[in-house]
Amino acid sequence: MNRLNIKNICCIGAGYVGGPTMSVIADKCPNIIINVVDLNEQRIKNWNDPDFDKLPIYEPGLGEIVKRCRNKNLFFSNLIREKIQEADMIFISVNTPTKKRGLGAGKASDLKWVEACARQVAQFSKGHTIVVEKSTLPVRTAEVIKSILNEVEKSLKDNSEPKTFDVLSNPEFLSEGSAINDLLNPDRVLIGGENIHAINSLVEIYKNWVSEEKILTTNVWSSELAKLTSNAFLAQRVSSINSISALCEVTGANVKEVARAIGSDSRIGSKFLNSGPGFGGSCFKKDILNLVYLSEFFGLPEVAAFWESVVNLNSWHQNRISRLITKKLFGTLSNKKIVVLGFAFKANTNDTRESAAIQICKNLLDEEAYLVIHDPKVKFEQIEIDLEKNVLGNDSIDKNKLNISKGGNWHFADNLNKIFENADAVIILTEWDIYKKLNWQEVSKIMRRPSWIFDTRSILNTNDIKELGLNFWQIGDGIG
C-alpha cells in the first residue's frame, strides 16, 4: 500500500474532540509523536495538570489514557507555530459554531477558526503535509482550505524548500459521555479524500485498532455531508420521540411502551428512542442549521423546512416542559424553591453547550422561581455564563435562607445534602446515576407539601415515588 509514513502529528484544537481523539491515537500508536496545540492557555494548563481529575474535559476513561501517554508521545502546548512545522499530518479540530452575524447568520457555520488554521498551516508547515479536517464542516469546505494552501504552494514554486499539501476529511462521530469507548470501538471511520496515498496514510493509523472493513473511504464531499446528515438523523429521532411523548401524555399512552413497541421493528431499531427534555450538545442544532442553510443556498427550500422543523420541535419541547411545571405548581413559581438535578446536556460529561437545562432554567427564573442547581461535574461559573445570571452567594446552603423571598434567583449546590429541605419541586434534567440512587423516602419527608417530582429523563419508578405521597410527572407518561 502506497502511503507516507506518519511520524509526527499536530492537532490544532484541544477541545472535546481534539483532546480525547489524540489521546486515543497516542495510546494506540506509540511510535507517533502527537502534539495537541491550542490558543487557549488555561485549557492547555489544565491538560497538563498533575491532578488527572482536573483535565479540562470529563470523559470516563480519558484520565487513564492521558496518564499513560502524556509527555511520552502525547504533548499539550500553546506552541502552535513550532508544532505545525514539525508535523507531517495536521488535524484541524477547532470549533465551528453557528454564525452570529452577517451572511448566513443563525444557520451557517462560522468558519473563521478553520480559515485561521488553514492560514497558520500554510505559513508554518514544511515539506509535504496532510491536512485532516476533523471539525464538522459544511460541504465543500475542504475546497476553501485547499485554495488557501494552494496559493502558498504556487507562490513557493521556485523556493528551495517547496511546500505541498493534501486535504482529507475525517469527521468525528464520537458521542460525549462515551467518547473513549466510541473512539476505541467506532461503528465506522470515515475518510474522504482525493489522493490515495494520503488516504492510505490515515487508514494505516486507524488500522492499529480498527478493523479495515470499518474504515470507509469516500470522496471529500460525501464525507463532509455524511457527518452533517448523521447528526441530523440522530436529532430527528430525538425530536420524533419527544413529539410522541407529548401526545402520550394527553392520550393516556406511555412513551416508553410506544418506544419499545416501535423499536422492536428491525427497520426502526431500538436505539435513540428515549424521550427526554430535548436534545443538547454543541453539535445537533448547529449541524442541522448548517444543513438548512446549505439546502436554502442550493435552492431546496422544502428540504430546508423539513430539517428546520426538527430544531423548532426541540425548542418547543423545552418550553413545553417549563410551562407544564409552572402550571402544576398552581401557575406561579414566585417564592417557590425548585431543586434542579443536573445541568450537563447528558450524563457523564461536563459539557453544557445547548443543554436543555439552560432554556428550562431560564424560563423558570423568568417565573421568579428560586432554583437550587446541582450537577456532579458542571462548575457554578459555567452555569452563571449559561444562565446569564450570577449565582446567589457561594456559601453553603443554609436551611433558614431557603424559604425567604428570592424570586428569580439561583443557588449552586455542590452536594446533595439538605438541598431538598422545604423544596416545592425537584426536576431531574440530566440522567446522572447518583440521582437514580437518591433516597426518595428521605427527600419526601423534608420537602414542602404539596411536593412535586418532575422526571424529564424517565429514570425513576413511578410507583415508588407515588407511594411516598409525592406528586409525580414523568416525561411521556399519560398512564401514571
Binding site for ligand NAD (CB under 6 A): 12-18, 37-40, 43, 80, 93-96, 113, 116-117, 135-136, 172, 174, 176, 282-283
Shortest Cβ 346–ligand NAD spacing (Å):
10
Shortest Cβ 255–ligand NAD spacing (Å):
26
CB 25 within 8 A of CB 34: yes
Span between the terminal Cα atoms of the chain, in Å: 61
3-class secondary structure per residue, the chain: CCCCCCCEEEEECCCCCHHHHHHHHHHHCCCCEEEEECCCHHHHHHHCCCCHHHCCCCCCCHHHHHHHHECCCEEEECCHHHHHHHCCEEEECCCCCECCCCCCCCCCECCHHHHHHHHHHHHHCCCEEEEEECCCCCCCHHHHHHHHHHHHHHHCCCCCCCCEEEEEECCCCCCCCCHHHHHHCCCCEEEECCCHHHHHHHHHHHCCCCCHHHEEEECHHHHHHHHHHHHHHHHHHHHHHHHHHHHHHHHCCEHHHHHHHHHCCCCCCCCCCCCCCCCCCCCHHHHHHHHHHHHHHCCCHHHHHHHHHHHHHHHHHHHHHHHHHHHHCCCCCCCCEEEEECCCCCCCCCCCCCCHHHHHHHHHHHCCCEEEEECCCCCHHHHHHHHCCCCCCCCCCCHHHCCCCCCCEEEEECCCCCCCCCCCEEEECCCCHHHHCCCHHHHHHHCCCCCEEEECCCCCCHHHHHCCCCEEEECCECCC
Shortest Cβ 30–ligand NAD spacing (Å):
24
Q: For this structure, is 10 an active site residue?
A: no
Q: Give the residue with the Cβ less far from ligand NAD, 172 or 421.
A: 172
Q: Give the residue with the Cβ less far from ligand NAD, 80 or 465.
A: 80
Q: Which residue is nearest to ligand NAD (CB)?
A: 15
Shortest Cβ 249–ligand NAD spacing (Å):
30
Q: Give the residue with the Cβ less far from ligand NAD, 279 or 370.
A: 279
Shortest Cβ 351–ligand NAD spacing (Å):
7
Q: Which of 360, 357, 362, 388 is nearest to 374 (CA)?
A: 357
Q: Of the residues 146, 283, 361, 431, which is catalytic?
A: 283
Q: Give the residue with the Cβ less far from ligand NAD, 18 or 342.
A: 18
Shortest Cβ 282–ligand NAD spacing (Å):
5
Shortest Cβ 293–ligand NAD spacing (Å):
15
Q: Give the residue with the Cβ less far from ligand NAD, 117 or 425.
A: 117
Residues 6+ apart with CB under 8 A from 419: 339, 372, 374, 397, 413
CB 63 within 8 A of CB 239: no
Q: Give the residue with the Cβ less far from ligand NAD, 15 or 376.
A: 15
Q: Of the residues 107, 163, 227, 336, which is catalytic?
A: 227
Q: Of the residues 69, 107, 134, 172, which is catalytic?
A: 172
Number of Cβ within 10 Å of residue 221's Cβ equals 15
Shortest Cβ 2–ligand NAD spacing (Å):
29
Q: Give the residue with the Cβ less far from ligand NAD, 115 or 368.
A: 115
Q: Give the residue with the Cβ less far from ligand NAD, 66 or 248.
A: 66
Q: Which residue has the cell 491538560?
A: 47
Q: For this structure, is 283 an active site residue?
A: yes
Shortest Cβ 343–ligand NAD spacing (Å):
17
User: ∠ CA 404-456-237 to the nearest 5 degrees?
Assistant: 150
Q: Which of 332, 330, 349, 314 is nearest to 431 (CA)?
A: 349
Q: Give the residue with the Cβ less far from ligand NAD, 14 or 255.
A: 14
Q: Which residues are catalytic?
A: 172, 227, 283
